[in-house]
Amino acid sequence: MKKRSSHFLAAVFALLLPHAAAAADLGKPVKEIAVAGAQRANQNTIRFYIRTKTGEPYSVQSTRDDIRRIYNLGYFDDIRLIIKEKDDGLALVYEVKEKPFVRSVTIRGAKEVPEKDMQMLIGMKKGSFFQKHLLNKDVLKIKNKYLKKGFYFTEVRTSATDAGNNQVDVAYDIIERQKVKIAKITFRGNKFFSDYQLSEIIESRESGFWQLFSDAGNYQREILKVDMLRIESRYRDFGFVKARLDEPKVEVDRENGIIVITITVHEGDQYFLGAIAARGDDVHTEDEIMARLTLKKGEPFNQTLFRQNLFGVQELYMDDGYAYANPQPDIVEHPETKTVDITIKVDPGKVVYIGRIDATGNYKTNDNVVRREMRLKEGERFSGQKLNRSRQRINNTGFFGSIDLEQKTGRKPDTLDLSLNLTEKETGTIKAGMGYSSLENLTLNAAVTENNVMGTGRRVSVGIESSKLRQDYYLDFTEPRWQDRDVSLGFSIFNRQFDYISYINRSTGAGLTMGKGYGEYTKMSLDYRFEAVKVDLAPLYTPTTFLLSQTGLRNTSSLGYAITYDERDVAWHPSSGYKVAWDVRFAGGPLAGDVNFYKTSFDVAEYVKLPYEFILMAHGNLKHAGSYGGRTLPLFEHYFIGGPNDLRGFTFKEVGPRDSNGDSIGGTASMLFNLEITYPFTKTFEGVVFYDRGQVYGSEGDLSKTTAQIYDLANMRHSVGWGLRIITPAMPIWLAWGFKLDQKPDESPMEFHFTMGRSF
């Protein structure tokens, strides 16, 4: 680094040499600018960084800045400025001396890390200018890579060999040595928490059998530092306000390739909450502030909960426009009673209004598509709640991978500018997926979808799904915000066929939909659908009287109405909040058609965050259908459940009424309950355990697996199971194993469900 600095200073100092001034009249204007000595560096690139212009007076400061900018490119060892006087002005020549060119980069001795990974890791690249400081950075990168894999004593040696013609060959020689694992982590001084409890808090792990097949058990200095903070934080959450840890003792046994870590804890005394008070002000009363506090007198002083409470008080003020509200807790410790008294007062600051709202990074998505999701408008009083909701709504569009909402002081003291820094993700997909069930066997599906057509937010999808029993084709279009209003429009065209073993159901039709938002979380929609439905008996099948009455072609003309209240945090993969939906459908009568029926459905789902990143999901669904005008409810409007999307562990053949041949004919009502607990092992991989309970009710056919009494809680099928959900860039993957808790003699004990390419 010293050598580089000396070259730069020498170049700048050359500008000030007395002979330069003596040899030329620097009062003349600049008439010509040239670059000399560049062999591999692009002349246009160098000229771009020369800000001195022809026709302007010569300036020492300007040319000095030029040299600094050129030097910072990292291509040159030396830069000199030569000034030549001409009759009509000065000619400036920036003479550069290029760094050597990297002819080759060789990595030797790397066995544990593939060479292609190493080439991506290092900064020195073939075909670039040689920069010595990059070698030292590369050595650290390589060593850290090996540290993560447990090679604690890895050595890295570098060399740069002259290859002639101002070129060098760069080599990295890696001596891997032996692998080192954490053999033992010992805790000392801990009384309140056991060794096992502390070991579960930290990420550093002792090496064991399973660690032989992973990077767990490797020693990483940075992770151990974070582990110390985790332990200290856990103590402070249980009232040990003075808990501290010594610097961990790390002993390396080079001969045996093991590391022993000793962590010494000084717990101190446990403190409990004493008096908790708040001081009101002109904005909020004492009672309003206290209502935001969940701390309880007599409980251990919990530092994390205390911070969350302060943030809750801050949100109270932010929702009223006080963006810079600052809760100021007064904490008084009483060593004699081991209690902590807390008094909270708030400095509200001034009311703040929204200044400018800018969005960057939305290169494809139109600006209005982003702005229409903002719940805050320019000139409006600031609200923390509206700000959070704006971020949530933009995220729910699904157009962006990351959303950074930055708050900046506006042009006026009482204004706040909002800057949305967005990172777009692919919204157009060509998906090919598959699934498996014991009934349908292999299911194939393919779809071409664009969720953000030309940046307008419109959605178009064309798809096909095929299996042993299913043949579906569809085209969907949705305009989510017509003329940027909270009004949606859409249409669909479809052709569906499903083989119910004893009969085949074919339907072709189209539908129109219009929706409107009411308030922040409520949406209502109205849709019309016309379809031609044909029921055919399966070949070589002996029909029952009921099935014979259902065969033939019927036209259905129906109108549907739905109302949805959705308060979930993320629409497609929620972790908190709930959704309630109710819809009804009416067919026939004044709408004409060949069938008269009505259907209604009520659906509710709630998501709750549990400790340690677990998420609980509870879901319930009730459905009922009937006919009028002296007609019966057609078979193709019956309800069926069983499969990966509702009652796992069952197929639709095993739930509800059956005909005399033992095949399912569905029912006029259904009830379903699901309980799930999920845990995210990584951002893309999560485990699921579930309990499902459901039934289809009806009055036709064999009711030995159900009953004619609808919503009979005592007469329901149920199952338990577990599964894996994997979110990949191409498509989601869902595997589930469902086990029947009430297996019948003619049923399998479990069902395996596997799907790819469908949303969960």
* Residue-wise pLDDT tens digits, 298-316: 999 999 999 999 999 999 9
pLDDT digits (tens, 9 = 90+) for 6-47: 444 444 444 444 334 445 678 888 889 999 988 888 888 888
| pLDDT of 208 above 70 | no
| pLDDT of 564 above 90 | yes
Residue type (1 letter), 353: Y
pLDDT of residue 216: 56
Interacting residues of 519 by C-beta distance below 8 A, sequence separation 6+ = none
Greatest C-alpha distance within the chain: 116
CB-CB neighbours of 570 under 10 Å: 14
| pLDDT of 160 above 60 | yes
576 DSSP assignment: S
* Nearest Cα residue to 94 out of 152, 48, 154: 48
**CATH T-level assignment (fold) for domain 353-424:** Ubiquitin-like (UB roll) (3.10.20)
Higher-confidence residue of 2 and 470: namely 470
- Report the percent of the chain where pLDDT is more than 90: 52
Per-residue confidence band for 75, with pLDDT thresholds at 50, 70 and 90 = confident
Query: How is residue 81 written in tokens?
Result: 């400025």
CATH 3.10.20.310, the chain: domain bounds: 2-98, 101-175, 181-266, 272-347, 353-424
pLDDT of residue 569: 87
| pLDDT of 377 above 50 | yes
| pLDDT of 503 above 60 | yes
CATH 2.40.160.50, the chain: domain bounds: 428-756
pLDDT digits (tens, 9 = 90+) for 265-290: 999 999 999 999 999 999 999 999 99
Higher-confidence residue of 738 and 216: namely 738
Instruction: Give the global pTM.
Output: 0.64
pLDDT digits (tens, 9 = 90+) for 666-696: 999 999 999 999 998 887 889 999 999 999 9
**Under CATH, which architecture does the 101-175 domain have?**
Roll (3.10)
Query: How is residue 349 written in tokens?
Result: 């600051």
pLDDT of residue 534: 94
Per-residue confidence band for 238, with pLDDT thresholds at 50, 70 and 90 = very high
Interacting residues of 260 by C-beta distance below 8 A, sequence separation 6+ = 182, 183, 184, 186, 250, 251, 253
What is the arithmetic mean of pLDDT over 134-145? 88
Per-residue confidence band for 440, with pLDDT thresholds at 50, 70 and 90 = low
**Mean pLDDT of all residues in the chain?**
87
Q: Are 758 and 445 in contact (CB under 8 A)?
A: yes
DSSP assignment of 401-463, as one string?
A: EEEEEEEEE-SSTTEEEEEEEEEE---EEEEEEEEEETTTEEEEEEEEEESSGGGS--EEEEE
pLDDT of residue 431: 61
pLDDT of residue 428: 67
- Report the percent of the chain where pLDDT is more than 70: 92
Per-residue confidence band for 383, with pLDDT thresholds at 50, 70 and 90 = very high
pLDDT of residue 244: 95
pLDDT of residue 620: 97
Q: Are 46 and 97 in contact (CB under 8 A)?
A: no
Per-residue confidence band for 212, with pLDDT thresholds at 50, 70 and 90 = very low
| pLDDT of 1 above 50 | no
Q: Please state which CATH number belongs to domain 428-756.
A: 2.40.160.50
Distance (Å, rounded) from C-alpha 118 to C-alpha 318?
49
Q: What is the CA radius of gyration of the chain?
A: 36
pLDDT of residue 581: 97
Pick among 3.30.450.260, 3.10.20.310, 3.50.50.60, 3.40.50.1100: CATH of 181-266:
3.10.20.310
pLDDT of residue 256: 77
| pLDDT of 717 above 60 | yes
pLDDT of residue 241: 94
Q: Give the CATH class of 2-98.
A: alpha beta
CB-CB neighbours of 468 under 10 Å: 11
Q: Are 329 and 313 in contact (CB under 8 A)?
A: no
Q: Which residue has the tokens 């007198």?
A: 297
pLDDT of residue 42: 85
Highest mean pLDDT among 159-168, 422-431, 509-518, 652-661: 509-518
Query: How is residue 267 written in tokens?
Result: 């717990």
Q: Are 68 and 90 in contact (CB under 8 A)?
A: no
pLDDT of residue 436: 57
pLDDT digits (tens, 9 = 90+) for 583-637: 999 999 999 999 999 999 999 999 999 988 899 999 999 999 999 988 889 999 9
Element (H, E) at 139: helix 132-148
pLDDT digits (tens, 9 = 90+) for 611-625: 888 999 999 999 999
pLDDT of residue 289: 95
pLDDT of residue 731: 62
pLDDT of residue 513: 96
* Nearest Cα residue to 535 out of 547, 521, 523: 547
pLDDT of residue 434: 60
Q: Give the CATH class of 272-347.
A: alpha beta
Residue 182 dihedral angles phi and psi, to the nearest 5°: -75, 115
Q: Are 38 and 46 in contact (CB under 8 A)?
A: yes
pLDDT of residue 585: 97
pLDDT of residue 213: 45
Higher-confidence residue of 447 and 422: namely 422
Q: Which residue has the tokens 């004990």?
A: 749
pLDDT of residue 226: 92
Query: How is residue 196 written in tokens?
Result: 């096992």
